[in-house]
Structure 1
Amino acid sequence: MSIGGMPLNSYRFRSVWPVESPPGDVFDVLADLGGYPHWWPEVRSARQVGEHAAELCCRSVLPYDLVFEARHHTREPRFLKAELAGDLFGTASWRIEPAGEGTRLVYEQEVTVGKPLLRRLALVGRPLLKANHELMMRSGHRGLRTYLAGFRAARRG
């Protein structure tokens, strides 16, 4: 079963986050996969598994963990893209665009859920999974803005 040609257990997400920090600082924070738990509450843990790779464990409102490896294969000053493998398969990317004194981030994710329980619940659980993702993204945006404010202050100090 599919929606618009996509299997029910596949998702495309896009979020735009304005932040009040320069692109270089934002890149430094986003490129450090092992540091995501410092600013994104739903990223419960990160274990570095390579120079540009980490195993992440994420949990939002719904009572399940998603564990996957994120491996950056593109690391350019204005663009990061990671391959995901584990409970999620696919890609996640950050486009980092200057915006006045700050930065405009565009996060895009295209994934297939591999976790067996979530695959079985794809038809009835899809709206809940999408809402869960939206809550996680809002929280991540707040956390990143707060973290970057401290990051900026530490660099000045």
Structure 2
Amino acid sequence: MTHRLRSVGLEYAETAPLRLVFVAEAQAPPGAVFTALADTEGWPRWFRQVSAARATDGGEGREIRLRGGVRFRETVMAAEPAKRYAYRIDETNAPGLRALLEEWTLAPSGGGTMVRYVFALDGPPPLRFAARLARPGVGRTFREAVRTLDRLLADG
């Protein structure tokens, strides 16, 4: 069954009832990191939890499958080269979510890139509690993805 989520804007990255924020450093420049983020089909190569990804609606949307069977239909909310990539989840088969926005912001840092990731969501209290408990794992997953992406970009 597919659940439709509430439509939220970019400000949700700062106003969501629950925000998980993580930062990691990449050696690659912001432009290269952004290009990888905007290449939806490339995500499974560097983000191990993503088993399949494809762009939809001429690149304005995405369909993502995670390992374990969770699916998302998303709208790309921001694609600012070398600065920001953000998407809102519109539909999912994961129960309980009311709204979810993910934002990746990029800033030059010592010849590389400071990558900031915001996982902004709403759901009933048990879901928000579970998300808080999952924070260390989400952070590990994010840092691992950035390291893998950095290696991929270094290898050309």
Please report the TM-score for the alignment, with normalisation by the length of structure 1.
Answer: 0.71
The count of corresponding residues between Structure 1 and Structure 2 is: 133
Letter in 2 for 1:72: V
2:51, 2:65 within 8 Å by CA — same for their partners in 1?
Answer: yes
Q: Does 1:26 align with 2:33?
A: yes
Gaps spanning 5+ residues in structure 2: where? Answer: 1-16
Letter in 1 for 2:42: G
Q: Aligned residue for 1:6?
A: none
Q: Does 1:107 align with 2:128?
A: no
Moved more, 122-131 or 35-44: 122-131
Identity of aligned residues (%): 26
Residues 43 and 23 (structure 1 numbering): CA distance in 2 closer, same or farther, change over 3 Å? same
Deviation of residue 132 (structure 1)?
3.4
Residues 53 and 129 (structure 1 numbering): CA distance in 2 closer, same or farther, change over 3 Å? same
Q: Does 1:36 align with 2:40?
A: no
Q: Does 1:75 align with 2:79?
A: yes
Equivalences for 1:55-70 in 2 at 5 Å? 55-59=63-67, 64-70=68-74
Letter in 1 for 2:87: A
Structure of greater relative contact order (alpha carbons < 8 Å, 6+ residues apart)? 2
Letter in 2 for 1:111: L
Larger radius of gyration: 1
Q: 2:101 aligns with which of 91, 95, 98?
A: 91
Equivalences for 1:108-147 in 2 at 5 Å? 108-112=118-122, 122=127, 125-126=130-131, 128-147=133-152
Please report the TM-score for the alignment, with normalisation by the length of structure 2.
Answer: 0.72
Gaps spanning 5+ residues in structure 1: where? Answer: 1-9, 114-118, 152-157
